[in-house]
Amino acid sequence: MAVFEKRHLWLAVLAVLALALPLLVANGYYLHMMTMSFIWMIAVYGLNLFAGYTGYLSLAHAGFFAVGAYTLGILTVKVGLPFWGAFALSCAFTSLLGLAIGLVALRTKEHFFAIYTLCVGYIIYLVIDKWDSLTGGVRGFIGIPAPSDIGPLSFQTPVAQYYLVLFFLFAVIFVMYRLVYSLTGRTYIAIRNSEELALTLGISTMKNKLASFVLSVFFTSLAGALYASFIRFLGPDIAYVTVMFDFLTYLLVGGIGTLAGPVVGTLLITFLSQQLQFLQDYRMLIFGPVLTLLIIFYPHGIAGGFIRYQAKRAEARRLEREANQTAAELAASRQGRDGRYVKEG
């Protein structure tokens, strides 16, 4: 990062705002809401990596979110592992599950992949719902401990938990940022744009898709584990398709395949949902058509639309500059010719 660009300034301002938020907002409710939306953002980044950059719509991510959350719960409560060990293990376990599922699922393409993962997600939901002795079934899973202290750091207060989640969000964004602008990220985008072409160029598409899928599952399970330690109560509903569709809405509104998309979309929709609280169960009356209209008329989302707008403006400016230059050259040459003409005359 040799050049300190304007957008980095914006990022810094946003980061400082996020860091200062607990000092600015005394209301515990808003802090809770922000923490929750940060957790969703991490999960949506997971989805974005695979759906947005690699071009495969996985509908099993709510399932992976739930697996991450439930594994943390089971490891801490039933097995009695220390919190951070269980935290790392639950992410590792979910990623391994993702690897196993990815090995099979990624042999399928497009529609088949979407249907396959939809079914995988549903199996996860059914298993959580029916395996009473392990997950508590419909009654839910209670008693998950808050994150334990690391040295002098304690995570018992809401503010501390806010910073913990924020830390992980920053880490995920940083990894995504470095990834997307790396050769690996470019490889994923190449696969998204045309898998055949990528294969022809000598890219091992299977290996790359699998890596992308597992990393995306890892992010989502991280969000799940954070969710479990923050809410400390789990129900099978978090594996249900509605959560999956929430993720998709966040991603699409924000901008699929953009770095800012998950943040923009999640924040906007969370706040809109707060405003539409009176609708509660009926909020999909609004978000359903929004999702559909968006994909028809504005498929790039807010962040994607902004990037396009900027690109268009830059292009217009470049054209204008070129036009001016040509005009100036033309004028200069005409003057020169006129001058010559005068001299000759």
Binding site for another protein (CB under 8 A): 51, 55, 57, 104-105, 107-112, 114-116, 118-120, 122-123, 126-127, 130, 241, 245, 248, 252, 281-285, 287-293, 295-296, 299
Comparison of 31 and 272: residue with beta carbon closer to another protein: 272
List all residues 6 or more positions away from 294 whose beta carbon is below 8 Å from its beta carbon: 252, 253, 301
SS3 153: strand
In whole angstroms, what is the distance from residue 183 CA to residue 332 CA? 45
CB of 253 to another protein, least distance (A): 11
Measuring CA to CA, which residue among 219, 220, 226, 215 is closest to residue 73? Answer: 226
CB of 119 to another protein, least distance (A): 4
In whole angstroms, what is the distance from residue 73 CA to residue 13 CA? 36
CB of 106 to another protein, least distance (A): 9
Cα torsion through 319, 324, 330, 332, rounded to 10: -150
State the distance between the two ends of the chain, measured CA to CA, in whole angstroms. 59
CB of 240 to another protein, least distance (A): 9
In whole angstroms, what is the distance from residue 317 CA to residue 311 CA? 10
Comparison of 285 and 319: residue with beta carbon closer to another protein: 285
- DSSP letters along 97-134, please? HHHHHHHHHTTS-HHHHHHHHHHHHHHHHHHHHH-HHH
Comparison of 122 and 163: residue with beta carbon closer to another protein: 122
Comparison of 51 and 74: residue with beta carbon closer to another protein: 51
Comparison of 79 and 285: residue with beta carbon closer to another protein: 285
CB of 224 to another protein, least distance (A): 21
Comparison of 159 and 294: residue with beta carbon closer to another protein: 294
CB of 225 to another protein, least distance (A): 25
List all residues 6 or more positions away from 67 whose beta carbon is below 8 Å from its beta carbon: 93, 94, 97, 124, 221, 224, 239
Which parts of 131-278 are beta strand (E)?
Answer: 141-142, 233-234
Comparison of 175 and 272: residue with beta carbon closer to another protein: 272
CB of 56 to another protein, least distance (A): 9
In whole angstroms, what is the distance from residue 227 CA to residue 90 CA? 12
CB of 155 to another protein, least distance (A): 35
Decide: 303 and 264 in contact? Cβ < 8 Å: yes
Comparison of 299 and 336: residue with beta carbon closer to another protein: 299
